[in-house]
Structure 1
Amino acid sequence: MVKRCCWGTCNTDSRYPDRMRGVQFFPFPKPRAHLEKCVLWIKLCGRPHSQLNTSNVNKHTYICSKHFVDGKPSGQHPHPVDAAVYADVLHPPVAPIRKRLRHNLVNSSPPALKTTAVAVKIESQEDIFPKSEPEERDEESPVADRIRQLEQRNAELLQEMASLKRLVETLQSPLQQTTPEALHYCGIPNYSYYCTGFTYQQFNSLCEVFGVPNSDSDSVPRENIPFTYKCSDPQIAKMPLRQQLLLVLMKLRQDFDMKDLAYRFQVGVESVCTVFTSWIAYMSSTLAQRPMWPHRDVISEHTPLTFKSRFPTTLALLGFAELKIERPNAFLVQNQIWTTDALKSLIAVDPRGAVLYVSALFTGAEQDVFRQCGVIPLLQTLLERGHLVNGDGLIADERFRLDGDVEKLGLKLNVPPCVESKKQMSAFSSRKSAAQHQKHVERVIDKIKTFKIVSGRIPNSMLSNMNEIWFVVSMLANFQSGHH
């Protein structure tokens, strides 16, 4: 079997004997038995993730003895290093043998004359320098130079070892504990916003909304937050509430794999699934208790002037959001979702872009979703409470053909003209500007889909709690813009 060193810049290969020269191969630590050691060796090798990662490390993965200070993994030097760092220590350069040739030996002279000249020269030097002094100086000077070189090299290695220790501590610190503070003070700009979609200050505001302490030192009884844990999990009991909320936001924002989150937070995969499911249910119930549709005076006060000048009585814009799902295996379910493989939700936003209402997910045509989602009873309740009055308008896209249903409530539905009918465009020429403002709904939907858990094709395994996830990410979009 061919053995090759997996170090990034090493070319040791058993197929080329000239590269071996007494080199031995040592197997790579396996992920199942030594996961942390395997991850550390992968980072030290410096190869791209696509070439060397925990998934492709097997029994044929080796590191040669060039990368170990002792020639093999030892207790003092268990991890590999770059072979160029200590190459001079393992194989020090040998000083060339100095040939002592006296400067006055000339080959051109006759042998008898040369012998006489040497004797005279030695006798003249014996009076000034003893015979032993030049010999001792010639023997001791290379040793002293070599000692100074080794001491200087030792000092350089100590400095490099200290820097490597600091690097190892830096690499291991995020693996040991993933907290909001660690993401905020890690030194990477906007890393907290990348992982969660919120800045550190916005994350603290979310903690106040969900009744979570702003620091791990604050003690808040967990009974005040009704989690639906299936059983008592000791790993979850050790996790602070802020850390659990961070885990849920990272899953919503970047859709990290459950195994990835389990490794980041050093808990089991089952614990991650339990935390995510319980928090989604708690966040959905908490956000549902907050008032979403404010009074018409509040909406009118914050409406942009350009929108108010064209539509003074319009208070909301309606649109449909579609979420792609996997095609199920059951033929009955395939008939229910038609041929689009998508779930649809009705969403209402105010003129400044805040989400006022988001319905559950349905299958079928838009007209059916509009009648089933429950927005008509909501509008009736708003009219009874005075949040809306007769004559207020709603802007919807061309897929709405429900003017009669809305007009029965005393509201006005302003639908932009259909592009396919020139007659309708001439009849509704005053509504052309409504199509421009309808793009606000599309921008809001795109903003919600920055949470990657709903931006891609949703697997069938997540359909059981997809309504709660969709509602949570839709409401969290308001916290990103400050509309809460």
Structure 2
Amino acid sequence: MAKETTKKNNEGSGKHCVVVGCKNTSKKLRKWKLAACELHASETHEYCVCLQPYKMHRFPNCSNANSAANRKQWVRNINRKDFRPSKYSTVCSVHFEEGKPTSAHPYPTVAMGYIPYKQLSRGRPPPRRRVSTATKAVTVQEKAGGVANMSPHGVERTSTCVQTAGLETKDASVQWYDARVADHTYAHVNPITKSKAKGTQTVKAPEVSAVNLQESDMKFYTGLSVQSFWALVNALVVTLTTTPKFQLPVPDQLLLVLMRLRIALMIWDLGVRFKVSRSTVCDIISFWVPRLATFMRENVIFWPSRDTLARIRPKCFESCHPKATCIIDCTEIFVQRPKNLRKRAQTYSNYKHHNTYKALYCIAPNVW
């Protein structure tokens, strides 16, 4: 019984993100690590080079005045009633602008589960409109009556002279109309205007688009010139057997993937930039990376023939290396240390004193 209880405790949900509405936990992160990687099917996420979807960060301790102030600001930004963080309370990296607490952005401020309070200015009084009525004419009639021709059988009244006084005018241009009198006027909506308003609603345009990027921006985001980028887009579209069913256009999809590969932007950041959800960003990357790798291997990366190498060999090689056909080099990429002992031994580098992936490649002499 004690063993079963211990096993259940080990398989608990773990640490929760304390932000309102956030469902990220350390248990989900463990499941993600044990799941098979879609891009590297032969390995799980724990041993592949894919970035984690999020990380859990503990609250700052109270070791000094600066840390105590940061801790109070964290609690203030969490904005939960009677919340007192413990030593196990954590906030996931999704809620930080740079994915983690930094000196520039030390507090969680992104997607906090509530609308930040803004102090409202004092509202202006309701407008008063002038009543544009014409000058009113008031006619005062004075009636005069008399009694005449009285007979013993009754009284017969006859209308005597009716005097009409002069017209009295009152200027109404200084009278004010109070808008509060017309109650519930907001309920009267023109149905034609309402239907037109629905028809004019459109999808928000992304902040970054391949159509609007300048040469310098394209170089920064993708490492390619504008002409090379569009040539790559046109070449990839021809090779597609299935059309990607995403909201973004194909050029923006490829731009998203290249931004992820070149400057390692986070999934959340890419979703905000292109106005799509995080799941859509993951689907776009999973769709394009294998096709991009196949296209590069079959159409871009090639090795010229020996005659071609001899023809394009630089003159500086003719005296010392007249028969050189390639330049061999090796590179290493740092990775996390695998838990599996065999893979840990296979990836360890005595040169770098770290676990790395090794790549051997050769370059044609004319590139030198």
TM-score (norm 1): 0.34
Higher strand proportion (structure 1 or 2): 2
